[in-house]
Amino acid sequence: MQLKLISISILVFAMGLIPLVACTNSGSVSNKNTVSDSSEIIEENDKPISEMTEEELLNSKEFKTKMRELAPIYAKQKVQFKMLCSEWTACKSNKERRKFIADHEYEVGLEFDVDISTISKAENLFVTHPEEFMKAMELKLKVRAARELAEENYQKAYELRYSE
């Protein structure tokens, strides 16, 4: 449950980091969060990402497009995690569990950023809280999508600001 709360707070934090420097075609910085009509950052009648609520961002066309781009990453991780859960539950003795940890500890740490160095940690992840972990993986994906949207919007804003 703590992992879920941390992931949610990261998502909210990431969305708070999306203020957009608005520019006009002349290269001067505007006090408003609007961009000239020729800009691709916001379309007519759309809010800039920095002004969207969490719900508006999650339902925005840009966010959904970014989530579709990142879907293969989540799908791969989900399948990999489910396979690891199955392998773990197939281990019947502590000797088999220790071998599983030795074989997969580095891989799990690298792919999922989780420590399974002990039997109790692995049991907690693979048996006790696998659904919560998969929800956290999805939230991390949403955070990544929001972060990438922010990076793209900052890049566009700076390109407009310094264009001739």
Is 55:137 a contact under the CB 8 Å cutoff? no
Q: Model-level pTM?
A: 0.65
Per-residue confidence at 46, pLDDT binned at 50, 70, 90? low
pLDDT over 80 at 29, yes or no: no
- Distance separating alpha carbons of residues 23 and 21, to the nearest angstrom: 7
Is 22:48 a contact under the CB 8 Å cutoff? yes
Question: In the prediction, which pLDDT does 60 show?
Answer: 86
- Distance separating alpha carbons of residues 14 and 130, to the nearest angstrom: 25
Question: In the prediction, which pLDDT does 20 show?
Answer: 37
Question: In the prediction, which pLDDT does 157 show?
Answer: 86
For residue range 114-143, what is the model confidence (pLDDT) as tens digits?
999 999 999 999 999 999 999 999 999 999
pLDDT over 70 at 78, yes or no: yes
For the segment 8-20, the average pLDDT, to the nearest whole number, is 43
Question: In the prediction, which pLDDT does 56 show?
Answer: 84
In the chain, % of residues over pLDDT 70: 71
Amino acid at 120: S
pLDDT over 60 at 147, yes or no: yes
